[in-house]
Amino acid sequence: MDNLRPVLYLSFVFLLFLVWQTWNVDYGPQPQTAQETQEVAGGDGAANRDDLPDAALSEAGEAPNTEASEGAGAGRRIHVVTDTLDLYIDTRGGDIVRADLPTYPVSLNQPDEPTTILNEQERAYVAQSGLIHDRVSGIDHGDRAPTHHAVYEAPATEFRLQDGQDVLQVPLTWENDEGIRVTKTYTFRRGEFLVDVSHRVENGSDAAWTGRQYRQLRHGPTPDRDSWFLYTFTGAAYYDGGYRKEELESLAEKVDSKELQGGWIALIEHYFLSAWVPEAGEENLLYTREVGTPDEPRYIIGLRSEAQTVAPGGSGAFETRLWIGPKLQEPLSEIAEGLELTVDYGLFTFLSKPLFWMLDLIHSLVGNWGWSIIFLTLLIKLAFYKLSATSYRSMAKMRAVQPKMMALKERFGDDKQRMNQALMELYKKEKINPLGGCLPILVQIPVFIALYWVLLESVELRQAPWILWIQDLSVRDPFFVLPILMGVSMLAQQKLNPAPMDPVQQKVMMALPPIFTVFFAFFPAGLVLYWLVNNLLSIAQQYYITRRLQAEGYDTGKNTGKKAAKGD
């Protein structure tokens, strides 16, 4: 155990973590290759209805399942612009077929190019909603409710949030030959990514109207990931009292229909998401679909509400909400229970959430995410000061007795049993715990992994500057200065630790700094900054403890293992 240095443990655990993460992506269920297809409006379902939820059987009894005749021809695009959203609504179905985020540019080099979330043409990614009529005995329900295949009318082709205007409404209307009129209204608010969506039903027919609202998100195959080194989840998520997520390709197979009270559904990607959020306490049926063709599959996750009956001459309304935007944890937590979990911190969420809270608090004081990372690293180091001190003290004492250990190795040669016996006697005599250098650092690994996910997942750090050449903490250092400094700091740490007696382990230890330098050259600058600062603080603490031991009588150099009478 004396040759297995704590830094070796930490390094191997982290490398294993990266390898496991990459293996899980590469050898798990593989997505099919997405084919970028130019789709005309309504082209994904105008000829069939397999992308609709099932119409429920009313208590009044079943009616013939007549095919809907919801209007012919393609819809037209309505352009909607607010201070936070730039999107297009198709009058066929009133679907949102494209959504850009003007306040979140693609990169600092493309400040005028907004990030696109919904995109029908490239990813078949659409937010859909509509109404379906229950199957009622004696009533042909095929054209009594507008699904997302129906064609709406709109009063204009462009809507803009004007200066001094806080609310923007976009009304769409549909009416059938019986006099049933539905107004679908999108309500946008200044400074918000949350959109209110309502369907108001006015029943001008002679029979009662019984129908339900449905909301669904449709997406093509999972896009290829951008980085081999850094993987973040892209797929579907929902909340049924617990946070669940599934890859798109296995969604229909693994998620059965289920009743939800409250909850929500979402499609998530790195930093951004779209989510349908019902009213609090509303009962819904969660459903999934795989539609399209084998060459161009489409994956759907949706919610269907409980039925509402509107008497002849009466009216009724369905309300829901749609989030299209970044994974901002505070607003998401206020919208619905568990929605902030879409900021996917993984296994150590219980540690990541308080770490982000602390990081955000520091940022509110210093106003710079880079300095916030440095101060948070310092606080973490202070929290683990006693554990780290135990580890560094043990390593310094091990270094002090290393000449005696080398002498034992020369004395017993390849006799491992006698060698281990002699080492145990030496540890007992010198009052050294051979695990003292390893366990304290192993305890800190979950905190490191939790912080790794905080720095990787938090959209607040996206395109956030620090100083000088570091203008985006979420991408790699453009000049590789931080990774090189990090590698140098690792090498300096090794010089403070006792060298392994095994020549193979010595070579491994010497190889770790350059290996990690290469790895971290592609990591976000914010993560490298944390590691570098942590290393520098560790070196300072280890140097301080070594000086203290020397004052107590230990010779922590390479020539002797002599110790003063004063105990530990």
CA proximity to 496, closest of 567, 418, 393, 425: 393
Give the number of other CB atoms < 10 A from CB of residue 417.
8
pLDDT band with cut points at 50, 70 and 90 for residue 555: low
pLDDT score for 435: 54
Q: How far is CA 67 from CA 44, 153, 217, 497, in A?
A: 17, 22, 23, 76
CA proximity to 84, closest of 158, 168, 170: 168
pLDDT tens per residue, range 234-262: 899 999 888 999 888 888 888 878 888 88
Residue 218 has pLDDT above 80, yes or no: yes
- Taking residues 181-206, report their average pLDDT: 95
Residue 108's contacts (CB-CB under 8 Å, 6 or more residues apart) are 463, 471, 472
CA proximity to 189, closest of 346, 292, 321, 279: 321
CA proximity to 342, closest of 417, 288, 249, 272: 272
Please give the Cα distance from 301 to 92 (Å, whole number): 20
Query: Among 231-240, 365-374, 381-390, which stretch is predicted with the lowest mean pLDDT?
Result: 381-390
77-344 folds as Beta-galactosidase; Chain A, domain 5 (2.70.98)
Angle at 265 between CA 259 and CA 266, to 5 degrees: 165
Q: Please report, for the chain, the start and end positions of each structural domain, with discontinuous segments joined by +.
A: 77-344, 361-552
The rounded mean pLDDT for the chain is: 79
Residue 217 has pLDDT above 60, yes or no: yes
pLDDT band with cut points at 50, 70 and 90 for residue 440: low
- Does residue 493 or residue 63 have the better pLDDT? 493
What does the H/E/C string look like for 182-248? EEEEEEEECCCCEEEEEEEEEECCCCCEEEEEEEEEEECCCCCCCCCCCCCCCEEEEECCCEEEECH
pLDDT score for 31: 39
pLDDT tens per residue, range 69-126: 455 456 799 999 999 999 999 999 999 999 999 999 988 888 889 999 999 988 899 9
CA proximity to 183, closest of 202, 157, 160: 202
The torsion region of residue 156 among left (phi > 0), alpha (psi -120 to 50) and beta comes to beta
